[in-house]
Amino acid sequence: MNSIRFSLTRNILIVVLGTLIILFTPSYLSTRTATIESFKNTVERDLRVVANVVKVRNDGDVYIEANEIFERRLTANGQSAFVVRSGDGSEIIERSESLNDTNLELNADQVVSKRNTVWSEEIGQNGTSVMIATRTFRARRATGNTDATRLRTRSGLPTMVQVSASRDMSELRASLRKATYQAVILTLAITVAAGFVAWITAGLALRPIQQLASRAAEIREPTDAQPFSANGKSELEPIAQRLNSLLARLKQASIIEQRFTADAAHELRTPIAELRTLTDVALAFETDADRLLHALRTSNELSIRLSTVVDALLGVARKDTLSANIQSSPLDVPKLLNRLLAEKNSSFDRNKKELAIIGPTTHIINTDPALLTSILTNLIGNAVSYSPNTSEIHIAYSGGSNGFRLDISNPAPDLNVDNLEQLFKPFWRQKGSYSDRSHSGVGLTLSRNFADLLGYTLTANILMSGHIQFTLLSDLT
Read off the DSSP letter of residue 139: P
- What are the sequence ranges of the domains in the chain? 4-144+155-175, 256-317, 325-473
Q: Taking 70 as the threshold, does the pLDDT of residue 140 lie above it? A: yes
Name the 3-class secondary structure at 130. strand
Average pLDDT over residues 417-422: 79
* Mean pLDDT, all residues of the chain: 78
pLDDT at 332: 92
Read off the DSSP letter of residue 150: P
Handedness of CA 114, 120, 125, 129 (dihedral sign): positive
Buried b or exposed e, range 355-368, using 16+ CB within 10 angstroms: beeebeeebebebb
pLDDT at 249: 82
Cβ atoms within 10 Å of 62's Cβ, excluding its own: 20
Q: Taking 70 as the threshold, does the pLDDT of residue 262 lie above it? A: no
Pairing verdict, β 329-332 and 364-367: antiparallel
pLDDT at 146: 42
E strand spans, 14-124: 54-56, 62-64, 80-86, 92-95, 118-123
pLDDT at 453: 84
**Beta sheet of 62-64, edge-to-edge order:** 62-64, 54-56, 140-141
Q: Considering only CA atoms, which of 385, 370, 383, 253 is closest in space to residue 315?
A: 370
Q: Which residue has the higher pLDDT, 426 or 315?
A: 426
The CATH number for 325-473, chosen from 3.40.630.30, 3.30.565.10, 3.10.560.10, 3.80.30.20, is: 3.30.565.10
pLDDT at 147: 44
Contacts of 256 by beta carbon, 8 Å cutoff, 6+ apart: none
Q: How confident is the model at residue 124 (pLDDT cuts 50, 70, 90)?
A: low
Task: Summarize pLDDT for 431-464 with one digit per residue, the tens.
Answer: 555 445 455 567 788 888 888 888 899 999 988 8
State the Cα–Cα distance between residues 301 and 436, nearest whole angstrom. Answer: 12
Task: Summarize pLDDT for 323-365 with one digit per residue, the tens.
Answer: 556 788 899 999 988 888 887 776 566 666 777 788 898 999 9
Q: Considering only CA atoms, which of 63, 62, 80 is closest in space to residue 71?
A: 80
- Phi, psi dihedral angles at 184 (to 5 degrees): -65, -45
Q: Taking 60 as the threshold, does the pLDDT of residue 150 lie above it? A: no
Which of 30-44, 207-221, 292-306, 307-321 is the least confident region? 307-321
Query: Which residues is 162 bridged to in the sheet?
Result: 85, 136
pLDDT at 470: 92
**196: alpha, beta or left, given left = phi > 0 and alpha = psi -120 to 50?**
alpha
State the Cα–Cα distance between residues 48 and 94, nearest whole angstrom. Answer: 15
pLDDT at 458: 92
